[in-house]
Amino acid sequence: MSKIPTLFNRLALIGTGLIGSSIARAAKAQGATGSIVATARSPATRKRVAELGIADQVVETNAAAVEGADLVIVSIPVGACGAVAKEIGPHLKPGAIVSDAGSVKGSVVRDMAPHLPKHVHFVPAHPVAGTEYSGPDAGFAELFVNRWCILTPPAGTDPKAVEKLAAFWRLLGANVETMAPDHHDLVLAVTSHLPHLIAYTIVGTADELETVTRSEVLKFSAGGFRDFTRIAASDPTMWRDVFLANKDAVLEMLGRFNEDISALTKAIRRDDGQALHEHFARTRAIRKGIVDIGQDSAAPDFGRPHPDLPHSALPKPYAAEED
């Protein structure tokens, strides 16, 4: 049996929420690194990571975590990345690869790069994967399988460092693509940031109505609403930072969305059934494309479980009374 060789002797994880703890679990499962050292800002999280046993070592400071590490991955809200880079800069091992997992790349490059010494390789990354849960308990080793990880190395980065980080992500099951930071931010503004903002909005809208109670919203959510609530349950701090860091691209996409919803609103107001039908017929193709390339399940309802029919159920009063 051929053992998979380790890619990095020592991996340092700064931040051990859903993403950081999933990286720890996947790297361990795949033997991708010789050892894993982890840290987190709160003592409670560090304690929990130690209990979970997903890192070989849990340390108290970011500076201590990166000592001697060959790969450093910062998985924290993007607004905090600059300060962490400043903190770890002086302690990084020459030749180390420094990366992150942030959902915005332009701001991460701008905030982190100035604090990193010339003797390390800075390769920002964004694994496009996640769930609605947060924290070290929410992670799992399979999170990145068949998902994309986008690398956005600044111009002049050593291609060998980029390829080595790509190999790491492939070993964790991901597909890897390289992109310019600004283009990444535009793509993710539409595939991730705008959907989250809209989901957060409509869930808030539904909760503030005077004419429809919260209990009614919950009970009848299977008509479509519940699909929006999943991503509206995502980590608030992470998402606050995303919208502030990717402001320009998000505002541009919001502008497009507003134009389109105005057009559909006008069609409804004018009873223009043909315009509505044409629009609704078009969007099916996108869903099919996503399922075809394996980025979603073809099972109805995302494959949500449907309970069995209660065969033993007796209709209330008619069992005895009629027929």
Q: What is the rounded CA–CA span in Å between residue 47 and residue 50?
A: 5
Mark residues 174-203: x for contact with a second copy by CB under 8 A, - for none. ---x--------xxx-xxxxxxxxxxxxxx
Q: What is the largest CA-CA distance in the chain?
A: 86
Residue number with CB closer to a second copy (43 or 317): 317
Q: What is the rounded CA–CA span in Å between residue 268 and residue 111?
A: 46
Q: What is the rounded CA–CA span in Å between residue 166 and residue 259?
A: 39
Q: Applying CB under 8 A, does 157 fall inside the site for a second copy?
A: no
Q: What is the rounded CA–CA span in Å between residue 111 and residue 280?
A: 42
3-class secondary structure per residue, 192-222: HHHHHHHHHHHHHHHHCCCCCCHHHHHHCHH
The residue whose two tokens read 């991708």 is 32
Reading the block at residue 308, the tokens are: 């069995």
Q: What is the rounded CA–CA span in Å between residue 246 and residue 254?
A: 12
Mark residues 294-313: x for contact with a second copy by CB under 8 A, - for none. -xxx--xxxxxxxxxxxx-x
Q: What is the rounded CA–CA span in Å between residue 194 and residue 196?
A: 5
Q: Applying CB under 8 A, does 158 fall inside the site for a second copy?
A: no
Q: Applying CB under 8 A, does 155 fall inside the site for a second copy?
A: no
Out of 94, 118, 156, 269, the only residue in the binding site for a second copy (CB under 8 A) is 269
Q: Applying CB under 8 A, does 223 fall inside the site for a second copy?
A: yes
Part of the chain binding a second copy (CB under 8 A), chosen from 38-46, 56-64, 114-122, 125-133:
125-133
Q: Are 89 and 115 in contact (CB under 8 A)?
A: yes
Q: Applying CB under 8 A, does 44 fall inside the site for a second copy?
A: no
Part of the chain binding a second copy (CB under 8 A), chosen from 59-67, 82-90, 109-117, 277-285:
277-285
Q: Applying CB under 8 A, does 220 fall inside the site for a second copy?
A: yes
Q: Which of residues 48-67 bind a second copy (CB under 8 A)?
A: none
Q: Which of residues 68-87 bind a second copy (CB under 8 A)?
A: 79
Question: Shortest Cβ distance from residue 176 to a second copy (Å)?
Answer: 10
Reading the block at residue 34, the tokens are: 């010789």
Question: Shortest Cβ distance from residue 215 to a second copy (Å)?
Answer: 8
Question: Shortest Cβ distance from residue 10 to a second copy (Å)?
Answer: 12
Residue number with CB closer to a second copy (94 or 224): 224
**Long-range Cβ pairs for the range 198-201 (8 Å, 24+):** 198/228, 198/257, 199/228, 199/229, 199/230, 199/231, 199/232, 200/232, 200/239
Out of 43, 94, 118, 219, the only residue in the binding site for a second copy (CB under 8 A) is 219
Reading the block at residue 263, the tokens are: 């057009």
Residue number with CB closer to a second copy (91 or 235): 235
Mark residues 245-264: x for contact with a second copy by CB under 8 A, - for none. --x--xx-xx-xxx-xx--x
